[in-house]
């Protein structure tokens, strides 16, 4: 991102940039542990070098002015009107954050804000969380809010839950706010305990493939899956005290799974519990520098998301199937909420260009869609530039 050019765009849009500050929060890719976060389970994301940039300065107009280089839609919101939603527009993400910050007693003034993101929107790399976190981090800094990073992560999640209306877990905001270069983060989404795990790739690279099958998170079946998991808990707690599926290990689930009479609900629960175990096994493998086992666990994760959780679809399945045919690929899976978006693969470095060309060609032949590929650089969390 050309920061000077972004500052010039801010000046062109708002007319002055006398006290301009620039902040950044990354998108994320989840290496393994999908649809476990809102079930109080384990996830294993890392922050990307792609993300959302925010140029911001205070104004004396008593209004919040929003603009972005990514979309035409702009908004001007009176401070007294920040609780009002703007249809399905992108400004609801920062507005929701500002509502949460205001509820914590931080007095806001008018601001001019120009956002610019290089995370593909709707790809499943958490462009929404990066917008929320860069807003929270910037406003906390501008108004001396003294909120910790964890505070900002939690309020950003609440903004998406309560204001935007997506019942996401905490993983996306956590990875965006807490990421560290060349590390992945193993997070227990129930206790919020986490561990930074160095990523030693040893001649392999992380390649993200965007199917370019767009899916809106809020109107996907994300909320439906969450409801199905809650139904599973209702059945299982007749046999064992339980609030979330993440409280069960695989052996414990197998002992009481017959309490679930609905086979679909049983499969949903089986994915969550087995995926939790795969995260733990993946971290163990990486600590032993065993990328091959890690790749096998990625493959198992995708197969479970396809068969038990049913959140993949023809595009993601095709991308993964084609990736696994390439020599030098040790693991490939969907990442994110599913129903479109991205896959993540571990690819031998010398095979990456062949991988991109061959997988791209075969995917287009089978789906009619043209994918995009990104070689993932693991970056830091929210920061001022």
Segment holding 90, helix H or strand E: none
Q: What secondary structure letter does DSSP report for 371?
A: -
Give the rounded distance of the alpha carbon of 113 from its chain centre: 23
Identify the active-site residue in 112, 172, 276, 308. Answer: 172
* CA distances (Å), origin 274, targets 34, 269, 270, 295: 11, 9, 6, 16
Paired tokens of 280: 């733990």
Query: Which phi and psi (to 5°) does residue 197 adopt?
Result: -115, 115
Q: How far is residue 121's CA from residue 124's CA, in Å, rounded to a whole number?
A: 8
19 as an active site residue: the answer is no
The whole-angstrom separation of Cα 153 and Cα 175 is 9
In the structure encoding, which two tokens stand for residue 26, read together?
């990354």
How far lies 255's CA from each of 237, 248, 281, in Å? Answer: 13, 10, 21
**Tokens 């911001």 map to which residue?**
56
Q: Give the C-alpha separation, 196 to 46, whole Å.
A: 9
Please list the active-site residues.
172
């Amino acid at each position: 991102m050309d920061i000077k050019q972004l500052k010039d765009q801010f000046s062109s849009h708002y007319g002055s940039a006398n006290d301009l500050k620039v902040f950044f929060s990354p998108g994320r890719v989840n290496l393994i542990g999908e649809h476990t976060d809102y079930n109080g389970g384990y996830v294993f994301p890392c922050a990307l070098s792609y993300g959302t940039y925010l140029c911001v300065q205070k104004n004396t107009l008593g209004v919040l002015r929003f603009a972005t280089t990514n979309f035409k839609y702009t908004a001007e919101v009176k401070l007294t009107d920040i609780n009002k939603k703007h249809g399905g527009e992108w400004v609801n993400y920062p507005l929701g954050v500002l509502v949460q910050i205001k509820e914590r007693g931080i007095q806001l003034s008018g601001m001019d804000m120009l956002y610019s993101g290089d995370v593909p929107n709707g790809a499943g790399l958490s462009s929404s969380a990066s917008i929320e976190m860069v807003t929270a981090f910037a406003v906390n800094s501008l108004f001396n809010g003294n909120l910790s990073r964890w505070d900002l992560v939690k309020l950003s999640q609440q903004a998406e839950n309560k204001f935007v209306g997506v019942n996401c877990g905490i993983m996306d905001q956590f990875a965006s706010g807490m990421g560290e270069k060349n590390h992945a983060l193993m997070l227990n989404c129930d206790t919020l305990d986490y561990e930074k795990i160095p990523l030693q790739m040893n001649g392999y690279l992380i390649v993200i493939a965007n199917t370019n099958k767009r899916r809106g998170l809020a109107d996907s079946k994300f909320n439906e899956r969450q409801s199905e998991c809650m139904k599973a808990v209702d059945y299982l707690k007749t046999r064992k005290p339980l609030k979330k599926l993440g409280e069960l290990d695989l052996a414990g689930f197998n002992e009481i799974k017959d309490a679930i009479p609905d086979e679909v609900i049983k499969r949903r629960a089986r994915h969550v519990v087995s995926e939790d175990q795969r995260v733990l096994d993946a971290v163990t493998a990486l600590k032993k520098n065993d990328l091959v086992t890690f790749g096998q666990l990625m493959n198992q994760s995708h197969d479970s998301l396809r068969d038990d959780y049913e959140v993949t679809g023809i595009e993601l399945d095709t991308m993964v199937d084609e990736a696994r045919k390439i020599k030098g690929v040790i693991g490939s899976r969907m990442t994110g909420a599913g129903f479109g978006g991205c896959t993540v693969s571990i690819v031998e470095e010398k095979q990456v260009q062949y991988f991109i060309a061959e997988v791209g060609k075969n995917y287009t032949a089978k789906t009619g869609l043209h994918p995009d590929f990104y070689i993932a650089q693991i970056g830091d969390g929210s920061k001022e530039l």
